[in-house]
Amino acid sequence: MVIALVVIWTAFHILSGGDFLTSRNLWNLSVQSASIAVMATGMVLIIVSRNIDLSVGSLLGFLGYVMAMVQTRWIPDAFGFEHWYIWIVALIVGIALGAALGAVQGSIIAYGGVPAFIVTLGGFLVWRGLIFRMGEQGQTLSPLDGTFQLIGGGPKGSLGEWRSWVLGLLGCIGAIASIYFNRKRRRKYDLAVRPLPIDIGLAVFGCVVIILGIALIAVGYESPITGAPTGVAYPVVILIAITIGMVYLSRRRRFGRYVYAIGGNPEAAELGGINTRRTVMGTFVLMGVLCAVSAAIQTARLNSAVTNLGVQNELDVISAAVIGGTSFAGGIGTISGAVLGAVIMQSLRSGMVLLRIDSPSQDIVVGVVLVSAVAIDAALRQGKRRTAGIALAVGLVVAALIIQTGRQ
């Protein structure tokens, strides 16, 4: 996937006349990818457990609208504007409501035995309908609390230069420590260990990528308002924290191991003593919480809540998880892969915008990419490498033709 991302970036940079690989565009790309990537980390566990969630875009829009109502209507009507705690209350309400609605959907799926496709398709319609009911047929809620806006990575919503370098240093230390402790743990249990030069090379490569990312993207992009280096945007910081937490949850905690066991063989997992129903419901509760976080990022970035917030986000989230290596057959998928998949999806959209590809053509390309990714996954699971190669080639050719014919 890293190679695919490099190819996509290089192609769009050439086709756009050198506008893609600039500090400004890559900084914006990182912010745009954050909300999709946050939800994609939760979608991995849902798909791994052999389920699907089609409601994430509508749920994001509904939660964002509720959080905006808290800031612009409910608290101001009762206590007035500009209270320091408004953004905290809005976040708590959004996260709690997201968890509750996720629990409702999850309980119907896990305990009611209704297929996840049907339940979340219903949620897709219900949550979107509630937005219009609350919004009085399309009303926009704005402005939002000043502190809340920082979550979206606005003019002041970033770390700045020196704190970004501190974050980069911590990232390098974390990368080295991760490789070291993984190597130590595998030796402890007499498992195969990569040659030491390879691990050293991976550590060096990781540190180089982090340092270059900070230097070229975060620090290299100067704020159009202050002229100072912006640094890492807060949405990216939130994404990093959630990614670390989700990786730990999926790899080191019992809940994560249970999810993968259920995806591998649900019957064997239940016979092994795993409470499969509670675990499946837990994945949807977690998805609801992550939708609330993404809703906060998107509404804060817009400084408003609109009724079409989150439209088609479910497609991008599912595509990110699948492109990142998550299998619809269950039991296979990684959090880091989903994050990289989200970056790939947003890179496609960002590149097509720079090339002035019309909106319908953009949707066609995203659809082709999603179908190609699923076809490649199915072929590889059956050991049909030639078929997977054909699916990849056909997908690339069709996407290239659509991009070429869709340029305005």
The three-class DSSP label of residue 158 is strand
Largest CA distance in the chain: 66
Tell me what the mean pLDDT of segment 54-63 comes to.
96
Tell me what the mean pLDDT of segment 139-154 comes to.
87
What is the value of pTM for the model shown? Answer: 0.92
The structural domain count of the chain equals: 1
| Distance from C-alpha of 224 to C-alpha of 232, rounded to nearest angstrom | 15
- At 164, give phi and psi (nearest 5°): -65, -40
Residue 160 is given by DSSP the state: B
Task: Tell me the pLDDT tens digit for each residue of 370-398.
Answer: 888 878 877 877 788 888 888 878 887 88
> What ranges in 150-233 are assigned the alpha helix state H?
161-188, 196-213
User: Going along 14-53, which residue ranges are E strands?
Assistant: none
pLDDT value at position 160?
A: 86
- Is the pLDDT at 357 greater than 90, yes or no? no
Residue 26 contacts residue 13 (beta carbons within 8 Å): no
- Is the pLDDT at 125 greater than 90, yes or no? yes
Q: Which of 316, 333, 327 is nearest to 377 (CA)?
A: 327
322: left (phi over 0), alpha (psi -120 to 50) or beta: alpha
Of the two residues 371 and 101, the one the predictor is more confident about is: 101
Q: Which of 171, 170, 167, 164 is nearest to 218 (CA)?
A: 164
Beta partners for residue 158, in sequence order: 233
pLDDT value at position 96?
A: 97
Q: Is 390 exposed, middle or buried (0-12, 13-18, 19+ CB in 10 A)?
A: middle
Residue 60 contacts residue 299 (beta carbons within 8 Å): no
Range of the domain at 330: 2-405
Tell me what the mean pLDDT of segment 94-114 comes to.
96
Q: Which of 308, 344, 299 is nearest to 29 (CA)?
A: 344
Task: Tell me the pLDDT tens digit for each residue of 319-355.
Answer: 999 988 898 888 899 999 999 999 999 998 898 988 8
pLDDT value at position 48?
A: 96
